[in-house]
Chains A and B, each alone.
Chain A
Amino acid sequence: MPNTLIYGRVLMADSLGFHIIFALLGVGLPLIVSLAELIGWQWKDKDFTFFAKRWSYAMSVLFVTGAISGTIVAFELALLWPPFMTLVGQVVSLPIYLEVFAFFLEAIFLGIYLFTWDRFSPMVHWLTSLPIVLGSFASAYLITTVNAFMNSPAGFALSDGKPININPFVAMFNQAVPTETSHSIVSYYLTSALIVAALYAFTFLRRKNKNDAQSKKALVFCLSFAFVFSLLVGLTGDQSGQYIAHNEPIKLAAAEGLQHSQAYAPLVIFGLKMPGMLSVLAYHDPSAKVEGFDNIDPRLRPPSFVHTMFDSMAVAGIIVVLVPLVFLLLYWRKRSWAFSKPMFWSIIVSALCALFAVEAGWMVTEVGRQPYIIAGVMLTERAFTTSTGVVEFAVIFPVLYLLLAIVTVWILVRHYKTTV
């Protein structure tokens, strides 16, 4: 159904774009909370215990919203794209199945964690945070291996359109996995820390020079955490770029907007041209030839806004590395500037950049794979349902997501405004 396909795409994209926001916080916040609780317990620092308690409310509310949107995504994957799910279900169901168990553990221990602050000793209570951290990490890792499979299918052969010689382990640990999982997960930790820092920065801006030592501690903690992960994001980003250059050349050409295959390929970011830099980044060799669109069938060419998204992600990436770095340097050398208005605004901007970069990055890898839903194996248009009703739900669900976002934010704001 070519004319309803676009509605299916829009619905899926909207659902995924919405879900990733809450899923990333569901991965990042547990580690931040657990770390804060650990510091509070081990260093007997009441402020950190307070942080863990205070932030765990947001952690659980956001988990719920992430769980709702995730449930919808799971159903949509199967119901909007049944031929795709049939193949995926046969070949790479292993990580999907494992993920449900990780999700179970997360949900169970989140319930336990929230309601046993006063029932358990500090050590035991902190231990209950570990399954949440591990469960959320595992969920992210496992689901991303399935996406990696879509970008780099492995572990099966096709006979008459049906998969044979299936090896789920090869499928699950395909070659896109190391870079995709590492780069995305570290970005979730970074983004979560920046968002928490930005919220504290916002309260400083609203309070107009009130000297709050506890909030300053929170800011330093979050930005130190963010700094470490910003470096990892940069490192894994470079590795991802190299991986894509070697294994998904069409996606690289799309991301870089490279028309002509060439050695000494230039890096072009928003019109700014850096000669030879693309070859250097992709192959660590300026004389290396980078594949452009000239050797590619035009029907297999992804949309050109992939290039804009990639450039946006890269620029945002520079900001999210610089801001924590500058903050920490100022904190070390000229503390009053670290808690100044321009710095607070920069922190807020960096959090927005991080969030935007996550969305842009996912767009690059997903839209950059089009027209395929499984690279080289299945076209998106061949994977679509024949059911009616997609158009209506392509309107209904986004409206529901908007409502859900408003409700979530409203509940969080009300809670934090009315409690200490």
Chain B
Amino acid sequence: MNEIIAYSIVVVFLGIYMLLSSIEFGSTIFLLNPKNDQKIIPYIGPIWETVNVFLVFVFVSLVSFFPGATIVFSDHLLVLIFTGLAGMVVRMMAMLFFYYSAHKGKLVRWVLFITSYAVPVALSQIVVFAYLGKVVFGPISLGLGLFSLLVTYALAYTFFGMMEKKSSSIIKKSGLFVGAIVLVAAAISLFAYLQFPYIIFPYPTVYQAFTDPVVATILFGVFILGMILVIPSFILLFTLFVFSPQK
């Protein structure tokens, strides 16, 4: 039972991270055109660091609740994850330039865009590994990569479309396209959830990799207390900047 709760926490927050980061990462394609700056910067500016924390949260949750899985991640996914991380570092440098300095030149915008779309492609290969037990580059992995690109683009498009009042017609036109992609994204999340009880097939099950039950109970307590603090703060942040953005 504990394992199911912990697994759910990891998957749910992974889903939230995918949603938020897709919007953030996806927005970079629109930022290639400086005319879009004022539509995007007020939303992304205050929140992108918080989005990064979600990623750390997912990983720390995974390692805290399923310490036994660490060895598998290390043995098989070190190169993939480090590659993604290296991409993230380069991306963060571009984010620093774009959001913290007056330098919003073409180079910065392109680096931002390329890293923002390349990193999800690289990291989506983890799904291949999760299903096949090894990293294989082929039609499936290419498809997954392309899919992650689409999801990223679609969610960003949807979000910023919603924020812009006069684009309702565009939304209607591409509604089917966007809707379909979001549905498939949800399906993938469900698929991830249904992989239970395997974290990485066919390596340790969540039962084998799970931590001590006493420790798990304490961690759940921390999670609840933490959420009591973080969720209202998060709502405050989004109310201040997403639903009534600064110019």
What residues make up the interface of A, taking CB atoms closer than 8 Å to B? 57, 60-61, 63-65, 67-68, 70-72, 74-75, 78-80, 82-83, 85-91, 93-94, 96-101, 103-105, 107-112, 114-116, 119, 131, 163, 166, 168, 385-390, 393, 396-397, 400, 403-404, 407-408, 411, 414-415, 418
Contacts of A64 in B (CB 8 A): 49, 92, 95-96, 100
Please name the residue on chain A nearest to B220 by beta carbon. Answer: A97
Contact yes or no, A131 B233, CB < 8 A: yes
Contact yes or no, B82 A393, CB < 8 A: yes
Contacts of B89 in A (CB 8 A): 68, 72, 397, 400, 404
Contacting A at CB under 8 A, from B95-118, are 95-97, 100-103
**Closest beta carbon of chain B to A232's beta carbon, Å:** 28
In the bound complex, CA of A60 to CA of B214 (Å): 38
Knowing A107-B49, A115-B246, A119-B246, say if A90 contacts B211 (CB, 8 Å).
Answer: yes
27 contacts between A and B (CB under 8 A): A71-B88, A72-B85, A74-B56, A79-B73, A80-B74, A85-B67, A86-B67, A89-B64, A89-B67, A94-B218, A96-B60, A97-B61, A97-B223, A98-B226, A100-B53, A101-B222, A101-B226, A104-B53, A107-B53, A115-B45, A168-B214, A168-B215, A386-B75, A393-B86, A397-B86, A404-B89, A407-B96
Contacts of A87 in B (CB 8 A): 67
Contact yes or no, A387 B76, CB < 8 A: yes
**Closest beta carbon of chain A to B244's beta carbon, Å:** 10
B190: interface (CB < 8 Å): no
With a 10 A CB-CB cut-off, give which of B52, B53, B103 has the most chain A CB atoms.
B53
B129: interface (CB < 8 Å): no
| Among all A-B residue pairs, the 8 with the closest Cβ atoms | A89-B67, A101-B226, A82-B74, A93-B64, A111-B46, A389-B79, A387-B78, A82-B71
Select A408's contact among B74, B96, B218, beta carbons within 8 Å: B96
Contact yes or no, A385 B74, CB < 8 A: yes
Contacts of B237 in A (CB 8 A): 108, 111-112
Contact yes or no, A93 B56, CB < 8 A: no
Select B50's contact among A104, A131, A390, A415, beta carbons within 8 Å: A104
Contacts of B226 in A (CB 8 A): 97-98, 100-101, 104
How many of B's residues come within 8 Å of A, CB to CB? 61
Contact yes or no, B79 A404, CB < 8 A: no
Contact yes or no, B53 A411, CB < 8 A: no
Contact yes or no, B93 A403, CB < 8 A: yes
Contact yes or no, A112 B219, CB < 8 A: no
New contact pairs (8) apart from A82-B74, A115-B241, A396-B86, CB-CB < 8 Å: A79-B78, A79-B82, A90-B212, A100-B226, A101-B222, A103-B56, A168-B214, A411-B96
Knowing A82-B74, A104-B230, A400-B86, say if A112 contacts B240 (CB, 8 Å).
Answer: yes
Please name the residue on chain B nearest to A403 by beta carbon. Answer: B93
Contacts of B218 in A (CB 8 A): 94, 168
In the bound complex, CA of A414 to CA of B92 (Å): 18
**Closest beta carbon of chain B to A383's beta carbon, Å:** 11
